[in-house]
Structure 1
């Protein structure tokens, strides 16, 4: 099967510039439903599912390939090559912000700029870095995923989104999270939470727009400033008044105008 079919790639709208929307852990391309209608009149929009998302065939998930972010990054390059995109505005949420960064180091020509939402190069605290988590907390998280995936999903979704179980956004995230096969969810969670991409940042020369909620369970606000200081190219930071790790789902009225502004605005201009 081709890369395009395996990742459920859809090409919408038309325009001279291409915007690629890449989702984070536990979601799929449906997380962009509030943003897509605002882009399709002016841009060619590409949406796809990361391998391992509940909408992809679990038989295609290679545990060795996706043990590092590199495997996902090579998927992005493969998708862009297969559909003939020579340059794109890459909008990456959470893990996909870092996937885009890794892909841009290998193929900077494919990326006009990267818009990072809720991005982190490392989640674990060290002596001189605050990522938000201690190793023990992550061990507990992995244990919870392994022991009772459904119960973990029910508890994690409202914490990540920043709302109660009654909210539409929490229910939506719960649905896409629970659609993942538990062993695949565990593998992807370990890849994300145990990765350390800080040494790579200086090699990212593509302009980056760093967008962050003021309150995010997974990514402290200081991480956005760390990215800004350590990326190899031009970057800009915007902290939004939103709560939660999936603001494009939980606060679209705030986030959509911000994202549209960053899609249209160039740092270098």
Structure 2
């Protein structure tokens, strides 16, 4: 990040990441999205938190370990990930149409439409390159270096990330960590179960209103 700051400058980074700030609070609350989505996935939550914080949203992709290894269930076997890459390369539009409902996990037309639009407008070659980075990266060795208290929020049934990942992270993080399992399905509760997610975040952020 320091290298990026020197290359682009603070304002340049904000522009490159299409950053937007809402609210006039004295504390910043940063909401970051994952692969295939963008900052608009937070649109249900931003208006509420803007009353209490300076809410920062931006566009990027996240890194996590999705592959199963000995003693770790990341959600996918290597052959499954290779099949995803193959499908993306052969027919990106068809892959989006099949992947999005699986990721959403519930029968929500609006959520499927939102995520499908966001993922579908990616350049297929860039999407494949990013997907390889996302699915094949392994940053688990960094978890013990995270010393700040953490709250891990997980849907009880997520076809993309199994519940076991949340408890694995809790066991490896260097600081105190809690796991909060939402009584919902799907990978994007900020779109499909935002009232549940909001209540958890209000508790974590000590908001009583």
TM > 0.5 fold call: yes
Counterpart residue number, 1:88: none
SS at match of 1:264: coil
Question: 1:131-142 maps to which residues of 2 (within 5 A)?
Answer: 131-142=74-85
Native 8 Å contact 1:27 1:176 kept in 2: yes
Q: Match for 2:113 among 171, 176, 180?
A: 171
**Partners of 1:146 and 1:218 in 2: CA distance:** 20
The answer for unaligned runs of 5 or more in structure 2 is 1-7
Q: Tell me the matched-pair count.
A: 197
**Partners of 1:18 and 1:162 in 2: CA distance:** 31
Q: Match for 1:124 among 34, 49, 67?
A: 67
Counterpart residue number, 1:246: 188
The structure-2 alpha-carbon separation of the partners of 1:264 and 1:184, relative to structure 1 and needing over 3 Å to count, comes to: farther
Question: 1:1-269 maps to which residues of 2 (within 5 A)?
Answer: 2-50=12-60, 95=62, 121-164=64-107, 167-264=109-206
Counterpart residue number, 2:4: none
The answer for unaligned runs of 5 or more in structure 1 is 52-94, 99-120
**Partners of 1:153 and 1:242 in 2: CA distance:** 23
Deviation per CA, 1:30-87: give whole Å up to 9, x if none.
0000000110111111111117xxxxxxxxxxxxxxxxxxxxxxxxxxxxxxxxxxxx
**Partners of 2:126 and 2:188 in 1: CA distance:** 21
Native 8 Å contact 1:34 1:256 kept in 2: no
**Partners of 2:135 and 2:206 in 1: CA distance:** 32
Native 8 Å contact 1:213 1:247 kept in 2: yes
Deviation (angstroms), 1:260? 2.2
**Partners of 2:86 and 2:181 in 1: CA distance:** 32
**Partners of 2:134 and 2:192 in 1: CA distance:** 22
SS at match of 2:205: helix
**Partners of 1:180 and 1:23 in 2: CA distance:** 15
